[in-house]
A and B are shown apart, each in its own frame.
Chain A
Amino acid sequence: MRRTPDTVGPPRVAAWLLTRYFARRGRHELADELAELFLARVQSRGLFRARVWYWMQLASFPLHQISERFRHHSPAPSRDPVTRRRRGTMLGSFLQDMRYAARRLRQSPGFTAIAIAIMGLGIGANTAIFSIVNAVLFKPLPYENPSELVRIFTTEDDGETPMVSSYPDFVDIRDRTDLFSGAVAHSAMIVSLLNDEGAETVFVEYVSADFFEVLGLSPALGRGFDSREDEFGASEAVAIVGHQAWQGRHGSDPNIVGTTVRLNGRPVTIVGVGPEGFSGSMIGFTMEFWMPWGTATLIDSDMRRIVQSRGSHSLSVTARLQPGVTVAQAAAAMELLGRQLTEKHPDTNTDRNIVTMAAADVRLHPFIDAVLYPVAGLLMAVVGLVLLVACTNLANLLLVRASSRGREVAVRLALGATRRRLVSQLLTESTLLGAFGGAVGLALAYWTAMFITSFRPPVGFPIAVDLTLDVRVLAFTVVLSIATGAIFGLAPALRASRPDVVSTLKDDTRPHGRVRRRFGLTNVLVVSQVGVSLVLLIAAGLFLRGLLTAQRVDPGFETESVAIATVGHLMGGNGEEDGREFLYELARRLETHPGVSAVALADRVPLAASLQTQDVIVDGYQLPAGTDALETDYTAVTPEFFDVMDIPILRGRAFNSHDTEASPDVAIVSAAMARQIWGTEDVVGRQFRWGPADPPIEIVGVAQDTKVRTLGEAPRRHVWLPFAQEGARLLFVSVVAATTGDPGAMPEVFRREVKALNSSVPLFEAKTMQQHLGIMLFAPRMAAFLLAGFGILAMVLATIGLYGVVAYSVARRTREVGIRVALGADRSRVVGMVVREGMTMVSIGVVVGLGLSVVAMRPLAGLLNGVSVVDPVTFVGVAVLLTVVALAASYVPARRASRVDPMVALRYE
């Protein structure tokens, strides 16, 4: 529905929710009628008030319906005590309580709206984060009978760390038909897809021919794969196109089966469309195509070598257990198989084990899961704290409300109501508030989660998180809302049902012992709200400081004028030799471009997500205690690289055109590496080796240190190798260009040149160095952004809570203030007195929060780019901020107190 300026409609989300609500009751017409009333209200009261009114209908309808529903359920009181007890069954009194609660909430719409809004914010934050966590960690893939599925991993040669398997190992696993009714190998790869604008990179998942059958999925269109397409040497490459790609790129073309696409420059026939709602076995990554292993070799020249080598580990294995076989049995059998394979193939399989896990226990890969769970836990803890603030706020509101209801409660107690009934009535009310808060939260959560996931890391491939509402998120929200409403309503309910009957009935306004005690609890609640929001704000502040530090770090190379392109030079039908030639030619062409001063090639750019490391061996060097190898990062670059990146060579020389495959192996090392191993930077002419049997490599130069993996790291051991001797073997190589003009214009130049040179070679990424550094800063930026958002939310809630308590206390003390003023107290002293009361709570809260933060921030060490976890600037700054906001919150009611007219206040008596 598009809104044109001259038509005004009701708030869309509220309208949607109401439509749902009415549709469930078969009263579709009510939505239209409310829209009409909304328009009438816009005319009479203005747009804003009409919108507020419309939102309130969301609560009004269910509340009215609840009280109507229970209208006839109030059991008539019986004189016979036995009957009375029997009649007062749980259900009967529950229904009565519901009706009573609904009526009471309806009677004070202001209180109800604020309470629902507070709970909505708290629950919304939790549901939003949970729905993201759920999408990444819990939402099951749409497989049939998922409990029968297992994931099987070959370990690293430490025998423990689950990694990926080789194709020959997979074949041995699949042959165990006594255990598995089917086993499939799958592996996601990046290939180039030729389209009208040139080549782009997409994900393809190479799979066994029976991939879909074993997982219990069936193509939406066309056919699955044929078992013959699993055999190597097929003549025609076939693919199933992903459902999303079919709907998007191909416009749901019903005649797509039989058409041809060009992947890596080769024709591939589309034989089917993948299942709807299935984007591949890797959560978060959307596969554009699935191809059977047998035909994968036709588009990926490397694949033939990979699938035939037992030493080449690159694929995941999923298997379906035979009926009656347990995961434990399969795991034991696989472990045995692992040992047999070690015996049979000692050169490739020594120390490698085979591990089996229930598919439900693996999300992406055990290795990645190990990182995701703590991050998810941390996020949930953060929003949990926000909810805690919201709930204590609700408890506070209920307490205040309860004391204003003291007379009613006292009358009922005096008339013989039992305390249990009173408590259960009050609890029903808070639970109902929690439930409505949950409904509002669910709507807020949807937007929030969409908003948060709209921030994508700036990487060259799509990441998709499926946020559609499922039963898990719904159950989470329902349980959370009802539980919080009930738990945080309990203390106020217990308090409220225990007033001093006599004194309350005598005088409702006089402050007495009970009231003081009640204040004790509200004070504790305010203190804890302030403390918790302080913790969240400090975490946000620390991340912000870390971010600022990271942005100021000098990475040791040029960041302004450089642009980077990453190309898949081996795709598009290139062999290794062609690929290398392509790269050199591309560099030459780019160099002639006006605005480009120099161009270099590198197999990795600094601060990229990928790592390249090897152990360095230096004869005669004594390893420091506790280390068993000199793990060293390395990068292969062309001679121009040091000029392009402006990395000074401190000693010796840079590479030159004489460093070729035919010449002796040479290297340039980082200054840090020279100092660490040889104790001096003067190491030109010294040697190291990669392996005991490898030839020595001579050091010809020493380069100034650069950041390699992260901006926060200390100078690292790093080896630079000549591209001609080492590079070009990887799937992707980066072209780095120094510009004299605007580097922002370069991505387009890269795109044009790559296409002109070989239109089937994909340009994986083209970006400026600044954009590249943005990837490094993405995680700290996200963390700072989320924490700041939730921290501010908590602070706002705490401020509302503080304001409410101070305002209430002022109202209770009207008479006292009046007497003081009448006796000649200065008005500014009255303000001071009230503000002091608020600030006492705030100061205690701040002190408690600071103390908690010292402990709670400890796990953040190492994520803050060197900022201390007890950074005084952050601690003091946040404490001051919170105090100032709190001061404002208590000043407003204080001012009001000072304006009390002594005559009015005293006439109260």
Chain B
Amino acid sequence: MGREALGEFEHQVLLTILRLGAESYSVPVVLELEERTGKSVAPAAVHIALTRLEKKGLLSSRLVDPSADEGGRVRRYFKLEPAGIERLKESRRTLASLTEGLDPILDG
């Protein structure tokens, strides 16, 4: 599959994972997204986006076996691949060049 544009939601998910630190599983991602966007986020949508981003090679994941002190729950941890970070940088550059000089209007 060729380079497909990053969807808005995919973009948000990538940024959230980055914000949450090196590795994260879906629960903090959902909660953080809700916190930051102020909207209700469907766990299903996050799950689908994570799966899709992993397929695109922007994320990678590993299953972590339950350790005794974590309440015995299995979790899938995601982390950004270099390609993912590259895509974020790229879209930020694009956005920056597009918004350059528009601050007076956009901040208002």
Contact = CB atoms under 8 A, between A and B. Distances in A.
Interface in B15-61: 25-27, 30-31, 42-45, 47-48, 51-52
A33 B48 CA distance: 14
B44 A63 contact: yes
Contacts of A27: 47
Interface in A633-660: none
Contacts of B51: 68
Interface in A1-56: 27-30, 32-34, 36-37, 40
A40 B27 contact: yes
A40 to B, nearest CB: 6
Contacts of A40: 27, 31
A64 interface: yes
B68 interface: no
A32 B43 contact: no
B87 interface: no
A64 B42 contact: yes
Contacts, number: 49
B75 A64 contact: no
A60 B48 contact: no
Given A28-B74, A68-B48, A60 B42 contact: yes
Nearest to B77: A29
Contacts of A32: 73-75
Contacts of A111: none
Contacts of B31: 37, 40
Contact of A30 (B42, B45, B47, B52): B47
Nearest to A40: B31
Interface residues of A, number: 17
The SS class assigned to the A binding surface is helix
B76 interface: yes
Contacts of A60: 42-44
Contact of A29 (B30, B45, B52, B75): B75
Contacts of A57: 42-44
A106 to B, nearest CB: 8
A61 interface: yes
B63 interface: yes
Interface residues of B, number: 18
A36 B25 CA distance: 11
B85 to A, nearest CB: 25
A33 B75 contact: yes
The SS class assigned to the B binding surface is helix
A65 interface: yes
Contacts of A30: 26, 43, 47
A894 to B, nearest CB: 33
Interface in A504-554: none
B6 to A, nearest CB: 15
Nearest to B40: A53
Interface in A69-97: none
Given A28-B74, A29-B74, A33-B75, A64 B45 contact: yes
Contacts of A29: 25, 63, 73-76
A40 B30 CA distance: 11
Nearest to B61: A29
Nearest to B63: A29
A657 to B, nearest CB: 77
A601 B51 CA distance: 77
A36 B46 CA distance: 15
A32 B74 CA distance: 7
Contacts of A36: 27, 73
A28 B75 CA distance: 9
6 contacts: A29-B75, A29-B76, A33-B25, A57-B43, A64-B48, A68-B52
Interface of B: 25-27, 30-31, 42-45, 47-48, 51-52, 63, 73-76
Given A30-B43, A36-B73, 12 more contacts: A27-B47, A29-B25, A29-B74, A29-B76, A33-B25, A33-B73, A37-B27, A37-B30, A60-B43, A64-B42, A65-B44, A65-B48
